[in-house]
């Protein structure tokens, strides 16, 4: 059967800054998923979209076409209101780990479909896979069973969910088109809408360690995603949050799991606790759940109970020792003063060099590799005090990691102004 369109005509239309019709969008997404449109043709179209943008109508139609390429999940039998969270990624961003059990302990259900890291931003599944026995791949039936029993599940998206996005995401990653806001928005929201959650909170990171370095682009992305969610009947809100310095005091897989457990035990770094509580309260509000306050379930142990049940339900041993890298290198302060800079990008790339991240999606990651931070900007430090501890499986990785940290750490005199973004910059949406 003859195809409705020629791929080159769709490419030329967007190259020449024309709006694509609904029929063109439906066809090109479907034809690419079927293999009729070649990778090099979709690469050209993605670049044209990056350079010439899309209208809100085009983005909404593109998102709908990607949803239509696969299945839609149904959580109507879970017995609780469903709410999910998506982060655009950052350094030390382990928030999903304590957040899902906190929200579950408050009475909502959290179907958290997560991914693996690429480059310096850590993946939630990579972190959790450092727990002995834990598995990310669940069938839809298994996912529903954990959700009904525990109230929270963190797992990989199945192959049937927005397969067009899975194929296009891999292509964008190798063709320099990842930054296209229409394609980012449709990629994230096609999966979240197809997932079937009733409400969604978006954590859109801003700063050196974020995908969006400046607030204006982060805001544009957030507004577009909120509109897509609301148009699809998903109650959606976005928070712009800081990623100019790493979240918490760890960047690395097992290191971040350990820190997350500290938060669930009632401790942990103040910024991780604060953002967990802010996101939890927003999620519960959108879900219409008026149970205990998230701070209360952290304090009395109910969130920890939900975490242990969630990990065990996916084959993990919550009591098993976490992997520890065999090699460590301590970076000390060169002088006394105040830590004025701990750049998220520098720390993230340095942790990646140590083995905590991957350059290609098929690369393995080291469970124990990463960086511990012993001070954050604003803290007083003394000469020769430990600032960072680098963890690696191979001591040969330290030299490159240390080069990446050069310029990313700075110490000033007491009273030196420190220019940091507020943890929560703004809220967008309902």
pLDDT tens-place string over residues 126-138: 999 999 999 999 9
pLDDT tens-digit map of 171-212: 887 888 888 999 999 999 999 999 999 999 999 999 999 989
Taken in order of first residue, the domains within the chain and their CATH numbers are 7-52 (1.20.970.10), 83-320 (3.40.1030.10), 327-412 (3.90.1170.30)
Strands (E), 7-150: 83-87, 110-114
381 contacts 337 by C-beta, under 8 angstroms:
yes
Q: Of the residues 187, 190, 260, 401, which is catalytic?
A: 187
**Cβ-Cβ contacts under 8 Å for 11 (sequence gap 6 or more):** 41, 44, 45, 48
Which pLDDT belongs to residue 118? 66
Q: Which of the residues 85, 94, 127, 172 is marked catalytic?
A: 172
Q: Which residues pair with 330 in a beta bridge?
A: 389
Angle between helices 22-34 and 7-15 (to 10 degrees): 130
In angstroms, the CA 307 to CA 152 distance is: 9
Residue 387, classed as helix, strand or coil, is: strand
Q: Is-catalytic flag, 191?
A: yes
The most distant pair of C-alpha atoms in the chain lies apart, rounded to whole Å, by 74
Of 26, 93, 165, 404, the catalytic one is: 165
Residue 274 is encoded by which pair of tokens?
């604060």
- Rounded Cα gap, residues 304 and 388, in angstroms: 28
Q: How far is CA 218 from CA 39, 285, 416, in A?
A: 28, 23, 29
User: How far apart (Å, rounded) are the C-alpha atoms in residues 177 and 40?
Assistant: 13
The yes-or-no answer on residue 187 being catalytic is yes
pTM of the predicted structure, to 2 decimals:
0.94
pLDDT of amino acid 379: 96
Low-confidence ranges of the chain (pLDDT < 50): none
DSSP secondary structure letter of residue 335:
S
Give the CA distances from residue 234 to residues 81, 192, 203, in Å, rounded to whole numbers and listed in that order.
Answer: 12, 9, 16
Beta strand 327-332 with 199-206 is unpaired
Which position among 86, 94, 235, 308 bears the catalytic label? Answer: 86
Q: What pairing do the DSSP bridges indicate for beta strands 83-87 and 199-206?
A: parallel
SS (H, E, C) 252-280: EHHHHHHHHHHHHCCCCCHHHHHHHHHHH
Q: Which residues contact 229 (CB under 8 A, 6 or more apart)?
A: 189, 192, 193, 200, 235, 236, 429
Q: Catalytic residue among 14, 61, 94, 191, which?
A: 191
Catalytic annotation present for 358? no
Rounded Cα distance between 86 and 238, Å, is 9
């Amino acid at each position: 059967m003859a195809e409705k369109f020629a791929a080159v005509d769709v490419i030329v239309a967007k190259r020449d800054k024309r709006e694509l019709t609904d029929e063109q969008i439906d066809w090109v997404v479907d034809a690419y998923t079927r293999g009729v449109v070649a990778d090099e043709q979709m690469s050209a179209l993605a670049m044209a979209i990056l350079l010439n943008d899309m209208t809100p109508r085009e983005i909404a139609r593109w998102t709908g076409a990607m949803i239509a390429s696969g299945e839609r999940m149904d959580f109507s039998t879970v017995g609780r209101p469903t709410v999910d969270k998506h982060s655009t990624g950052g350094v030390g961003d382990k928030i999903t780990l304590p957040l899902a059990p906190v929200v579950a302990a408050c009475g909502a259900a959290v179907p958290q479909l997560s991914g693996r890291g690429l480059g310096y931003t850590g993946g939630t599944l990579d972190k959790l896979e450092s727990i002995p026995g834990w598995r990310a791949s669940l069938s839809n039936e298994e996912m529903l069973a954990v959700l009904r029993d525990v109230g929270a599940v963190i797992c990989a998206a199945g192959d049937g969910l927005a397969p067009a996005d899975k194929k296009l995401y891999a292509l964008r990653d190798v063709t320099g088109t990842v930054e296209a806001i229409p394609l980012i928005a449709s990629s994230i929201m096609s999966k979240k809408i197809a997932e079937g959650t009733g409400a969604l909170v978006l954590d859109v990171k801003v700063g050196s360690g974020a995908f969006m370095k400046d607030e204006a682009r982060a805001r544009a992305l957030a507004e577009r995603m909120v509109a897509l969610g609301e148009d699809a009947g998903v109650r959606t809100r976005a928070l712009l949050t800081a990623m100019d310095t790493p979240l918490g005091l760890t960047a690395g897989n097992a290191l971040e799991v350990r820190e997350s457990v500290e938060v669930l035990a009632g401790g942990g770094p103040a910024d991780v606790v604060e953002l967990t509580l802010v996101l939890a309260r927003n999620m519960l509000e959108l879900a219409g759940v008026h149970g205990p306050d998230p701070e209360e379930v952290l304090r009395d142990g109910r969130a920890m109970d939900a975490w242990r049940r969630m990990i065990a339900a996916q084959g993990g041993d919550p009591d098993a020792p976490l992997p520890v890298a065999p090699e460590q290198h301590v970076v000390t302060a060169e002088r006394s003063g105040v830590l004025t800079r701990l750049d998220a990008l520098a720390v993230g790339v340095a942790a990646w060099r140590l083995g905590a991240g991957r350059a290609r999606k098929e690369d393995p990651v080291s469970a124990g590799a990463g960086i511990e931070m012993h001070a954050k900007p604003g803290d007083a430090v003394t000469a020769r005090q430990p600032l960072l501890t680098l963890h690696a499986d191979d001591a040969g990785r330290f030299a490159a990691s240390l080069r990446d940290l050069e310029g990313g750490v700075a110490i000033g005199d007491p009273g030196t102004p420190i220019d940091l973004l507020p943890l929560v910059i703004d809220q967008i949406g309902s």
